[in-house]
A and B are shown apart, each in its own frame.
Chain A
Amino acid sequence: MGGRYGDGQIEPDAEDAPVFSEDWHARALAVTLACGSLGQWNIDMSRHARERLSPVDYTRFSYYEKWMAALANLLVEQGVLSREDLRDAPGIVSEGASEGEPPAKAHPLSPRRLAAHKVAGVLATGGPADRASAVEVRFQPGDRVRTRRSANTLVDGGHTRLPTYASAAQGVILRQHGSHVLPDCNAHSLGEAPEPLYAVVFKAGALWPHAEHPGDEVVLDLWQSYLEPV
């Protein structure tokens, strides 16, 4: 949605506003992170699942509602839960999840459950995206490049991290980031396919018909296969 017209004013919240404005926001974030530890999807699949929500849902859902819907979809698509599981899930407060009830039946993935004592370690470690790659580095800082059209070239209608607003635009390589996992591939379980990643700087006038200021710039991180030499 970068560059889209028609959005209203931004409403900054105070620096000391609560981290989660609603309790369920916190639970939504935590459930999503904990499910990630089951190892049934990667971060690119997770982002793609949010983007694949129907346009109606994507528009009407708030931020964490998108997270919840995408998580439910992923859990079913990856075979972790069934549609019946979701339909029959109790949503009543008195049947809350914090009662410590034993599982009805052992789930094959339950050995992967994120334990409370592992949380600090998991959050502190994270999941680096840089990888060794056989793909040769093609561009150096200062090289002029042009982006391709914003579309996944491997999967029709698939995930990509080249925003539409930066399609077919001319910019300059600003810095090299090493080689990173390619989301266009990884989001579709087609492998990590790491390749060189660059910060590319664009003059505002190369992206927008009426730039606010001729000296302003936008920098995007773009994979080598998104770029061609000028």
Chain B
Amino acid sequence: MTDTATPDFATLSPSRGQKFRQRVLPLIALALILALVPALSPSRTVYSLLNAVGINIVFALSYNMLLGRGGLLSFGHAVYFGLGGYAAMHAMRAIEAGDGLWSGFPVFGLPVVGFAAGALAGAVIGWPSCRRAGTAFAMISLGVAELIAAAGFMFASIFGGEEGVTGDRMNGPELFGLSLGPVSEVYLFIAFWTVVGTAMIFAFTRTPLGKLSEATRDNPERVQFIGFDPVRIRYMVFIAAGAFAGLSGGMAAVNYEIFTPESLSLHPSGFVLLMAYIGGIRYFSGPILGAVVLTVMQSMLSDFTEAWLLYLGVLFIAIIMFAPGGLAGIFHGVAGTVRRDGAGRAARSLGLKAAGVSLLLVGLIVLIEVVIRWSNGYGEVFEPFGLMLETGSVLTWVLVAGPILGGAALVRFVAKTDEGGA
């Protein structure tokens, strides 16, 4: 806002082309990518992984409506995911039993039930908790999460006790000719609702309420000055976020056909915070990226290393310390550098940076893998690419110290030259 010569809003507003490129095109691209996946005929593992990713994308986006857009740090978002999921689960059982009106309800539409239940839960729980923002809000959300999670284990008639509530999705009328039996058909269901959820959450950010929620995050007093009540804005955003969390819960109910009380607990609430933060809470695409990366990490990385939780922690710390914009922030930064410096110069500096970070990563991985085997004490040896990296061998420690020192030096060098060049 330094350029005082800027004439008026009409020239500042984006052109039609820009609007299309920035707002509609990415959603079409998302839908196209999701629609093209079955053409690659993926295995069951990839399908079930993609289903988990889709559920987590909507869940993380709904969480970011609070954290990124509304500035409300919640430690209990899984409550709405879980309550929405349980509602959908009970509806699925009603469809199976053919109870009254439910017998004509398609399983495909169950996320709508989750949506309504999530909104209702948000309306009830949000009423007291949205009176305060900041730390007080975070603490209340933590308390509510503990309360609901404890209740989940105690009230077995609603939550099914430890073994949870199960249902069968292959009942009721079929929509679009999908029986929803095989995982490939469930994928189409998940893809549909992922696109719908993403589009609706994106649309929400464009509404006056969405804009006001960002304004309330930045400066609630000014919002009051222009005649809006921040408490009411927070409350309405909270209801919407709960509703979309419930939607993803409904997707999960159909995908897994089981809901257990730990889906209400602090653990998934913490995981959605990680997804949003690692992806980047300042960008709409951030939680999507975070959901993809963390879901894949959770399910696949544990096949390769038992220290996968440690890598998750390292990633989280690294993001907070060095890339507060998250993964989306890194991509935007790269794109920005390319635009500013031109492809040639950008490639050099980014290439060096990437090489430095990769070197650091190699050293770190060798260190962690060697140490964890040593601490287990079964006498296992870390053997990447046929190398025998024993605790006592010199090669091991060269491979630890060399890349870490080299990588750190390279990253520092790039930072220095960038400063000098700027």
Are A and B interaction partners?
Answer: no
Chain B interfacial positions (CB closer than 8 Å to A): none
Chain A interfacial positions (CB closer than 8 Å to B): none
